[in-house]
Amino acid sequence: MTLPTHVALTVDGVQIAMSDLTRVAAALSKQLLRDFGPIWGVTATIDPFPQLEDVPLDYWPVIVTRGVQGAAGYHEDKNGQPFALVEFDQDWGLTASHECLEMLADPFGRRLRAGNIPDQAIALGFKPGRVQFLVEVCDPSEGGQFSYQINGVTVSDFYTPHFFDPVRSSGVRYSFTGAIDAPRKVLEDGYISYRDPVSKHWFQIRMFPDDVSTKVPHIVDLTTNKVFNDLVQGGTNLRAAIDMVTPRPSYARSLRGAALMAHRVGAETSEASQTARAESIRADIRQLKRERPRPDRAKRR
């Protein structure tokens, strides 16, 4: 029997209505049970807690808070247990989905999978060969335009284990939404990190402009980054170190066009439907109260 993983969605230093926290947790729970768990073989629960002090000891927290732009993402506590930080903004639910799925796919930030170097790297002048990818299931399709909706909540796309296949095959799903249509492909606003076993350097393909290059795509040699090296040599796991040195495009910028419309309309439609259902159930309850026979006190004696 496999022990389930328990994840807590909670807040610290910010005000989020418990109804909103519960709504997002319910969407993430459905995403895990219906979409992610069967594909990745993960068994887990996701529950909301109004404050960090309420989180039970055996839960892995996903914490929504402020001022963590440079520290958002995966971390470990002093006992080596994972937790994630989510920046509190208008799209915190989408970010929470991203962090939750990546935490469950690679709980300790060190899972590597071998595969051919991406075609996008070869097109930029890198030689063909085998490399080791860090398993970060949401990063290659991180842009908000590749997200989808559950109960009116926008959640993150994620790649499947077929993402590391050697060649493209028809009828194969490389990401849940189908946005990734070939193995090891990085989409707009996404990125992927891999280690070259020959040079022993960590590289990252970025599909967004940054302070290194305005070209898209471009490749960054993470091993030349002093912060990255200091973190890894100091014992920080790979995923936490990479998160600390990787700028993340804003979901507010990447959620545009049809994706932005779906994001807004989905939330409004879901809220209206849920309100209508709640009123219908209340009407049923009122009717039941009126129709309930009164107990015969004499017979009860």
**What is the rounded radius of gyration, in angstroms, for the C-alpha atoms of the chain?**
22
Tokens of 57: 């000891």
Please answer whether residues 160 and 176 qualify as being in contact, where contact means their C-beta atoms are separated by less than 8 angstroms: yes
pLDDT recorded at residue 3: 83
Checking if the pLDDT of 84 tops 80, the result is yes
The C-alpha atoms of residue 28 and residue 153 are separated, in whole angstroms, by 9
Tokens of 185: 């492909």
The C-alpha atoms of residue 251 and residue 54 are separated, in whole angstroms, by 29
- What's CA 15's distance to the chain center, in Å? 21
Checking if the pLDDT of 17 tops 60, the result is yes
The C-alpha atoms of residue 82 and residue 105 are separated, in whole angstroms, by 12
The residue type at 77: D
DSSP 87-128: E-STTHHHHHHHHHHHHHHSTTS--EEEEEPPHHHHHTTPPP
Is 268 part of a structural domain of the chain? Answer: no
The C-alpha atoms of residue 176 and residue 39 are separated, in whole angstroms, by 9
Is 199 part of a structural domain of the chain? Answer: yes
Checking if the pLDDT of 28 tops 60, the result is yes
pLDDT tens-digit series, residues 134-190: 999 999 999 889 999 999 999 999 999 999 999 999 999 999 999 999 999 999 999
Give the chain's mean pLDDT.
89
Is 286 part of a structural domain of the chain? Answer: no
Per-residue pLDDT band at 281 (split at 50, 70, 90): confident
Per-residue pLDDT band at 277 (split at 50, 70, 90): confident
Q: What are phi and psi of 86, to 5 degrees?
A: -120, 125
The C-alpha atoms of residue 29 and residue 48 are separated, in whole angstroms, by 10
**Residue range(s) defining the domain that contains residue 243:** 5-257
Is 61 part of a structural domain of the chain? Answer: yes
Tokens of 186: 């990085």
pLDDT tens-digit series, residues 190-243: 999 999 999 999 999 999 999 999 999 999 999 999 999 999 999 899 999 999
The count of structural domains within the chain is 1
The C-alpha atoms of residue 156 and residue 163 are separated, in whole angstroms, by 16
Is 279 part of a structural domain of the chain? Answer: no
pLDDT recorded at residue 299: 54
Is 195 part of a structural domain of the chain? Answer: yes
Query: In this predicted model, which residue has the larger pLDDT, 231 or 280?
Result: 231
Quick one: what percent of the chain has pLDDT higher than 70? 89
Is 297 part of a structural domain of the chain? Answer: no
Checking if the pLDDT of 75 tops 60, the result is yes
Cis peptide before 217 (omega within 30 of 0): yes
Checking if the pLDDT of 288 tops 90, the result is no
Is 270 part of a structural domain of the chain? Answer: no
Query: Cβ atoms within 10 A of the Cβ of 164, count?
Result: 16
pLDDT tens-digit series, residues 35-46: 999 999 999 999
